[in-house]
Structure 1
Amino acid sequence: MPISRRTVLAAAAGLALPLPRVAGHTRPTVGFTLNAETLDGGEQVTSLTLHTRRLGPIDPASFRVHAKATSPIPIAAGDQIFSEYDLDRTVTAARLDHRGNVVLELSYAEGQLGGGTLGYIASKGRNVRLDLVYTVTQTGSPVRFVQGRLVNPEVDAFSYHTSGSGMKYRLYSPPRSHRRPLVVWLHGGGEGASLPDNYYDNETTLRANRGALGFATREAQRIFGGAHVVAPQSTSAWMLDGPRFAPQIREIVQDVARRHDVDRDRIYVAGCSNGGYMSMKMTTAYPGLFAASVPICGVVTGLISDAELAGIRTPSWLVASRDDDTVDPVANTVHAHDLIPRSRMTLYDDVTWNGYRFPGHWSWIYVARNDRNFWQWMARQRR
């Protein structure tokens, strides 16, 4: 007997509804949501919320959670995709939330396989949001658990938009939006679209790292006095076509500024890797647009001339790590710092946060966590 559209929609929303009667029996159905957090190393599913109050004793050992994650686009033979998985997730605890629903806490950690929501396709140099299929069973229970949506409150706080030129972006706006500053976050190379695969998700920019999310945290909002945060997503990679992308980013900035009464003397730009390059490119293309720039592990060699760097007048704070083996910090960050007038520079020895050592290229973590009071410095700058 087919399931009704009402039941399917309710399950997707995380509501509990019974399945139709089959052979004289009714099997109860409970919807559940996947609760995710964006860690410094990327988004992971950290818990499940079962939308029911009728499961009896809540014993975490009675639940089995299986997770399968696969690429949403075809993978060519011999190609590599990192972070696909098909395994059981460990349930570490079970509790009731404030609504009385059952929450299953899952084991997760930086670098731990089996909880991530993104996969990296080597040949394309792209992160993609994995198709997640979670299966929940409970020992001795007749309940059929039906997966609903992925929930990440930090990511979900950013609304979806598309500019007039067709570039997608996400936008966070503070509750009180009158005359607030604007922070522009430009993502790394792995977070662009893959148009040959018709993949342009407007998602990975917020799920791959905490770059944009950091500026929307309560701490950052207090420091900036409330700030809009915009995260455009390129249709490829910023470095592939920076001169064409620059006016598209400016269009987004101008549109957001007009619609939200942005303080135009307090527009800031920051970005990592490809976005580090694009941050500097924006300050060369539009010298009067930004009050401050924070380029992180960005490339300049062969892309931005020495004369252009020497002509930058936007206050700039460059960041990189000495052990970066993806972008040479000396040939790029140090070189740019030597040429950009009155620029600041922070060179870390490595990238370690909360006891976990990340690849040296990931120095954006320090800015996303405001390690050296980067946010306070930005907030003080005026155009």
Structure 2
Amino acid sequence: MKKIVMLCMLFAFGVQLNLSAAGGEYHLIIEGFDWGPAASKVILPLGETTKSVKTENYDVRVSRKSDQGDIPESMQSGSREVMRAYVSDAEGNPQEVGNHVTLILAVAPYKPMGSPIQYFGRKGNVWIDYTLAIIDSATGTTWNKEGERTIPILDDFDLTGKFTHKDITMSYAAFKPENRTGKAPLLIWLHGGGEGGTDPSIAAIGNKAVNYAGEEVQSIFEGAYVLVPQAPTFWMNSVEGGYTRGKTNDMYNEGLMALIKDYVAKNPEIDPKRIYVGGCSNGGYMSLKLILNHPDYFAAGFISALAYSSEFITDKQISSIKNMPIWFVQSKDDNTTKPEETAVPVYHRLKSAGAKNVHFSYYDHVIDITGQYGGESYYYNGHWSWVYLHANECRLDFDGTPVKVNGMPVNIMQWVSAQKK
């Protein structure tokens, strides 16, 4: 009971410190997860060396604020669960003796206190003012100022890219492979409707597209460039305003294609025969739009939650891309981009036109593929089929048989890597 009372007093004191006095600095680690970015670790300098720490001594409170919109009151502040604490160095590496402690924080799709971004409707996802107040109940030491922030993989991207076409300026994130010899392929990822704006870091990590620069995918391609353009609003923004699903023209495809060509021209190490375009939802629409407009430019497409309505694609257009390798990914319970109006008829029309290298991984639901949050019994929104795509989990075709290259079963990125103009 004494410890509980003391802890409450310390936390009350910690909140006061956070508002009126300087506390110590912490190093925040943010990682990309299937549902978006989350603050998963915090590294605390101790000021002295130690051999052991106790997890139960550390309590973490979070404040989530933004001037971009209203955050629901239940998501503005709360506690973070500390899963484990260990002695470490300044980078969070475990040490037998060290002068830092690293806290592993619980994250999950149903734990909004872990998220450093917030969705604000038409504004999309934005980074928010995300601050921690951490107290060691054994010593009364507090840390309440962010001194450093690390976002693995995203930190390897150049986030300064800008390109202007006519009166439209687009931002983009770009990754260049290291130690690559010879020409390298280019993976282009087009974000969903919630990741537009002028901060391409959101487009790259909002739905875990950073994975294309991760070790697994990079090893498959033996080093690949990754380009993540960002629409100032959303890719399906029609020239008349509002949304288009293909019936009318969008306002960005011309400028986006100019951006891609400009980036390729400025990076002569890119292999023009191995340029791949993919995207989800809004970005799935735009991926197919670029393929329809430029069927000879791309080596393959990988598209999740296609938002392009089949009814607005002519038979002539279908015939023009029947030789383009495309792999669709979607869930049957997608109520946002309904598969029976989008990917399913497009796939069947391509097959009927004679397409030999078009595939479709069609899932019943989008589940927790990590097994950490409920596994097969935990359903994400059915629209989020990009979870399978970014994790490189897609292996089966529409009829449930394995997709193969040269007679060998492959996953989607292995298949993409094998495509060449």
| Same fold flag (TM > 0.5) | yes
| Contact 2:278/2:284, CA 8 A, preserved across alignment | yes
Aligned position for 2:3: none
Q: Displacement of 1:321 after TM fit?
A: 0.7
Report the counterpart of residue 86 of structure 2 in structure 1. Answer: 95
Match of 1:297 among 289, 305, 326: 305
Q: Are positions 1:217 and 2:214 aligned together? A: yes
Cα shift readout 1:209-255 (whole Å, capped 9, x = no counterpart)? 12x22211211111112100111110111111464312222223223
* Aligned-partner Cα distance in 2 for 1:365–1:83: 27
Q: Does the residue aligned with 1:213 lie in a helix, a strand or coil?
A: helix
Q: 1:297-316, aligned counterparts within 5 Å?
A: 297-301=305-309, 304-307=312-315, 308-312=317-321, 313-316=323-326
Do 1:28 and 1:142's aligned partners in 2 also have CA atoms closer than 8 Å?
Answer: no
For residues 83 and 279 of structure 1, the distance between their equivalents in structure 2, rounded to whole angstroms, comes to: 37
Q: Any idea what SS the aligned residue of 1:48 has?
A: strand
Specify the code of the residue in structure 1 equivalent to 2:163.
S
Per-residue CA distance 1:58-102 (angstroms, 9 max, x = gap): 222222211011234134xxxx76983300112222112244322
Work out which of the residue numbers 30, 33, 37 in structure 1 matches 2:27: 33
Asked if structure 1 preserves the Cα contact closer than 8 Å seen for 2:25 and 2:146, the reply is yes
In structure 2, which of residues 323, 329, 347 is the aligned counterpart of residue 337 of structure 1?
A: 347
Q: Does 1:187 align with 2:191?
A: yes
What residue is the counterpart of 2:109 in the other structure? 110
Among candidates 343, 361, 373, match of residue 346 of structure 1: 361
Give me the identity figure in percent: 29
Confirm or deny that 1:163 pairs with 2:156. Answer: no
Q: Cα 1:121–1:348, aligned 2, differ >3 Å: closer, same or farther? A: same
Deviation at 1:257, TM superposition (A): 1.8
Gaps of 5+ in 2: 1-20, 91-97, 239-248, 396-410
Query: Could you tell me how far apart the structure 2 residues matched to 1:248 and 1:285 are?
Result: 13
| 1-structure distance, mates of 2:73, 2:253 | 31
Which residue is 1:239 aligned to? 236
User: Within 5 Å, which residues of 2 pair with 1:1-383?
Assistant: 30-54=24-48, 58-75=53-70, 84-99=75-90, 100=98, 101-122=100-121, 124=122, 126-139=124-137, 140-142=139-141, 145-160=144-159, 161-165=161-165, 166-177=169-180, 178-193=182-197, 200-210=198-208, 212-241=209-238, 243-260=250-267, 261-301=269-309, 304-307=312-315, 308-312=317-321, 313-340=323-350, 341=353, 342=355, 343-352=358-367, 353-354=369-370, 355=375, 356-371=378-393, 372=395, 373-383=411-421
Question: Higher mean Cα deviation, 238-247 or 277-286?
Answer: 238-247
Q: Distance in 2 between matches of 1:190 and 1:182?
A: 24
Verify the 8 A CA contact 1:268 1:378 in the aligned structure 2.
yes
Report how far residue 303 of structure 1 moved.
8.0
State the alpha-carbon separation in 1 of the partners of residues 236 and 28 from structure 2. Answer: 35
Q: How far apart in 2 are the matches of 1:230 and 1:172?
A: 7
Q: CA RMSD in A?
A: 2.3
Distance 1:168 1:303, change over 3 A: farther
Counterpart of 2:263, as a letter, is V
The residue number in structure 1 matching 2:404 is none
Q: Which amino acid aligns with 2:185?
A: P
TM-score by length of 1: 0.83
In 2, Cα distance between equivalents of 1:110 and 1:74: 21
Match for residue 246 of structure 2? Answer: none
How many residues of Structure 1 are paired with residues of Structure 2 in the alignment? 345
Letter in 2 for 1:311: S
1:71/1:84 contact within 8 Å kept: no
